[in-house]
Amino acid sequence: MTSLLEIAGVGKTYRARERTVEVLTAVDLSVSEGEFVALVGPSGCGKTTLLKIVAGLLPATTGQVRFDGRPVTEPPAGLGVVFQEYGRSLYAWKTVRQNVELPLRHLGLSRARRRELVADALDALDAVGLGAAGDAYPWQLSGGMQQRVAIARAVAYRPRLLLMDEPFSAVDAQTRADLEDLVAALWKRYGMTIVLVTHDIDEAVYLSQRVVVLGTGVSGVQADIPVDLPADREQIGTRSSAPFGELRTRVWTQVRRTPDGEPHARRTPESEMA
């Protein structure tokens, strides 16, 4: 498999007035075309920062990100993004269909091709109950349904790389499970490459082929754990299997330890000010 995404020596230091915060140092990671990678790590370790750098929304302080061989300096074509705050990312005055279609307008596609792509994306979501909601407005939908619209909009681009930052954290447990399975189905259907940031270690193991653990402090990637579970996964059977339990324990152990093997000290506003 060829590498679609190359993150090489990426570091980030935030500077604001008299204080600087070094968040990432020397992150090296490569993601192959078609892979599903989950990115986990203690709160504040820089997962969102890394995702924004990969998306071309934030410049790295050191190092470089390459997408399909080209350095990322702005949001590249072929990239889709889904963030947690779906409520803010949808246009309240546009219908579901119009929200999904909107980004496609900037791709210079013919009207017919655009309609085709939108129909296809909505089609994919039909099975989980969005199809009939095409003419509704986002504010008429539940949180879970709104997040489905945000996902539909991202996949309507047919992105080669889909970045997701805590996309399911604002919904209830049942909806979360449904959305997880929706994303797994879309990944298989479109053959996209997915990088998912999540706090939920079980979710990371359940969905991905590889869990990458980011460390805190002066560290980059702390562990890179292949998830060798069968490709066909199912919420109850997979999560209760012995290999799943072993993997979640391995990931947990890494998340709770600093790079030098000591238990991880939680980063607090006070420690950051020090």
Ligand X SMILES: Nc1ncnc2c1ncn2[C@@H]1O[C@H](COP(=O)(O)OP(=O)(O)OP(=O)(O)O)[C@@H](O)[C@H]1O
Residues that bind ligand X (CB under 6 A): 14, 16, 21, 23, 41, 43-49, 199, 272
- Contact at 8 Å (CB) between 149 and 99? yes
Cβ–Cβ contacts within 10 Å for residue 254, how many? 22
Comparing CB distances to ligand X, the nearer of 12 and 160 is 12
Q: Could you tell me which residues are beta bridge partners of residue 71? A: 66
Query: In terms of CB distance, is 21 or 229 closer to ligand X?
Result: 21
Are 10 and 27 in contact by the 8 Å Cβ rule? The answer is: yes
42 or 138, CB closer to ligand X? 42
Name the phi and psi angles at 207, rounded to 5.
Answer: -90, -35
Q: For residue 180, count other CB atoms closer than 10 A to its CB.
A: 21
Helix/strand/coil for 34: coil
- Region class of 78: left (phi > 0), else alpha (psi between -120 and 50), else beta: left
Torsion of CA 65, 66, 70, 74, to 10 degrees: -40
CB-based burial of residue 93 (10 Å sphere; 0-12 exposed, 13-18 middle, 19+ buried)?
exposed
Q: How far is the CB of 53 from ligand X (least distance, A)?
A: 10
Q: Based on CB atoms, which residue is closest to ligand X, 17 or 106?
A: 17
- State which residue, 41 or 138, has the beta carbon closest to ligand X: 41
Report, in Å, the least distance between residue 14 CB and ligand X: 3
Structure tokens at 80: 């889709």
Is beta strand 193-197 parallel, antiparallel or unpaired with respect to 161-165? parallel
CB of 189 to ligand X, least distance (A): 28
**Residue closer to ligand X (CB basis): 52 or 210:** 52
